[in-house]
Amino acid sequence: MICRPAESSFRKGQEALSRGHFLEAQAFFEASVDISRKTAGGAVQPRYLSFYGLCLSQLHGRDREALEICREAADAEPYNPELWSNLARVALGRGDRAGAHRALIRGLQTGTATAELAHLQRQLGVRRPPVLAFLDRRHPLNRLAGRLVATLKS
């Protein structure tokens, strides 16, 4: 059940986020989480949590907490590509490209590709094949050969 005051606060948070006002957005998202916890018997909409986590990572560098919040939200509503997008953004902010890629793939698997998911996919790019295809990507010779090739190209 959606609580009107919490939903109103969430929408104001989204407006602030779209303007790039992360601190204002965080306050609204935090309020929507608090209001829904108090009025909805402790049940919080996953999207409230996801956007709150996104703001935490952008503002305070509380990346570990933000990642947990966003992961919990995405797992609670796995069909919502927006939540996977937020999780990918937080993971990318932490420098976890593999985690961002996993979240991006899960978001794309929902069947509803969003502009944000497409942007993140372009941002992550495509990995080149390993230099020595007969060896695993993580093999020390492959890593060394990859670094050598990258140095020669630049």
Count of beta carbons in the 10 Å neighbourhood of residue 3:
20
126 has pLDDT over 60: yes
Please compute the mean of the pLDDT values over residues 60-78 and round it to a whole number: 92
Please compute the mean of the pLDDT values over residues 108-121 and round it to a whole number: 84
Question: Where is pLDDT greater, at 3 or 45?
Answer: 45
Please compute the mean of the pLDDT values over residues 110-117 and round it to a whole number: 82
Confidence of residue 115 (pLDDT cuts 50, 70, 90): confident
What is the pLDDT at residue 99? 93
The share of the chain scoring above pLDDT 90, in percent, equals 62
Confidence of residue 2 (pLDDT cuts 50, 70, 90): low
1 has pLDDT over 60: no
Report the half-sphere exposure of 89 (CA within 13 A, side-chain side): 24
**Average model confidence (pLDDT) for the chain?**
90
CATH-assigned architecture of domain 45-128: Alpha Horseshoe (1.25)
Query: Phi first, then psi: what are they for 115, rounded to 5°?
Result: -60, -35
How far, in Å, CA of 142 to CA of 134, rounded?
9
Confidence of residue 127 (pLDDT cuts 50, 70, 90): confident
How far, in Å, CA of 108 to CA of 110, rounded?
5
What is the pLDDT at residue 89? 93
Lowest mean pLDDT among 37-46, 101-110, 131-140, 143-152: 37-46
Question: Where is pLDDT greater, at 87 or 1?
Answer: 87
Q: Report yes or no: 47 and 39 within 8 Å, Cβ to Cβ.
A: no
